[in-house]
Amino acid sequence: MRTLTCIVLFLGCWVSSLSAASVLLDVQGESYPIPVKVYLPTDLAEPAPVVFFSHGLGGSREGNVYLGEHWSAVGYVVVFVQHPGSDKSVWEDAPLFKRGQALKSGASAEQFFKRINDVKRVLDHLEDTETELGRLLEGKVNTERMAMAGHSFGAVTSQALMGQRFENFGVLSYIEERFDCFILMSPSQSTKLSDAKAFAGVKAPVLCMTGTKDTSPIRKEVTAESRQLVYANIGSKEAYQVVFDKGAHSIFGDYRKNDARYHKAILPLTTAFLDTYLKDDAAARVWLRGEEVREVLVPKDLWQVR
């Protein structure tokens, strides 16, 4: 019942009481450094499962602090990967009236492929004790138990790594077998292949998260309804989807007053999902697939399980 106890306690004191040690460093990519932020549990009795997180377009490793602090506080080593070329550098020095266009420049196919390689490169460093990241995490991580999560462009990055198929001079897959499960915040439907062909081959457990107002800030064709097509077509035998009533694209970001009710659901849902598939926690699985999960939702929130 450990997970259920954590969830109950969490609902009463959801962010303010949590703290985590964090370390900033750069991982050397093939031609540029990849900034990462590592959140470490404060008391590690044994190597911990690992959760990677990929930010949205224009973000950085410094975003989504509430996720990093909470996941590490409940026993995960959390690695936030910053993606040069589609991070905050694309807009922060642009004039205010040009920032929208600057953001769009970071949403290219080139940057998409770079993001995939960023994550794979950081993965390679985890167990390499000749690297700064490997030395930091030596003896602290269980690389046999790892999850990938992301928001928006980070969700698209995660979709590629979970096995979404793409049509680009032939049908291609960029699946990363080292990840056991995936969390998609504001996922995006397939663009060239049909959704059925794109997602049918995905086998890993997946948690999809969106909202009824979760439209794209830069792509008008992406609607709140289209984001739900990922879950509808995914081939995973075990998959979950929450659609938050009145939830906008921003609710998955750092705490704002109006997002409090969403964060109170996002954290226990993601924690139970991670505990189920990275810690084999039977109580978390029962909670996630049972009626009690609705205690963290409001009546109009949609919760789907298969």
Per-residue model confidence (pLDDT) at position 16? 37
User: Model confidence over 139-195: pLDDT tens digits?
Assistant: 999 999 999 999 999 999 999 999 999 987 678 899 999 999 999 999 999 998 999
Q: Domain segments of the chain: what residues?
A: 2-305
Per-residue model confidence (pLDDT) at position 262? 97
Give the integer Cα–Cα distance in Å for 215 and 226.
9
Per-residue model confidence (pLDDT) at position 219? 81
2-305 CATH, one of 3.40.50.20, 3.40.50.1820, 3.60.10.10, 1.10.357.10: 3.40.50.1820
User: Model confidence over 53-99: pLDDT tens digits?
Assistant: 999 999 999 999 999 999 999 999 999 999 999 999 898 877 877 87
User: Model confidence over 36-56: pLDDT tens digits?
Assistant: 999 999 888 899 999 999 999
DSSP for 76-109, written as a single string: -EEEEEP-TTSBGGGTTTS-GGGHHHHHHHTSSH
Measured CA to CA in angstroms, residue 278 lies from 3, 8, 16, 102, 147 at distances of 12, 20, 26, 38, 8
What residues have CB less than 8 Å from 9, skipping those under 6 apart?
A: none
User: Model confidence over 184-236: pLDDT tens digits?
Assistant: 999 999 998 999 999 999 999 999 999 999 998 778 889 999 999 999 999 99
Whether 13 shows a pLDDT value over 80: the answer reads no
Tell me the pTM. Answer: 0.93
Averaged pLDDT, 19-39? 92
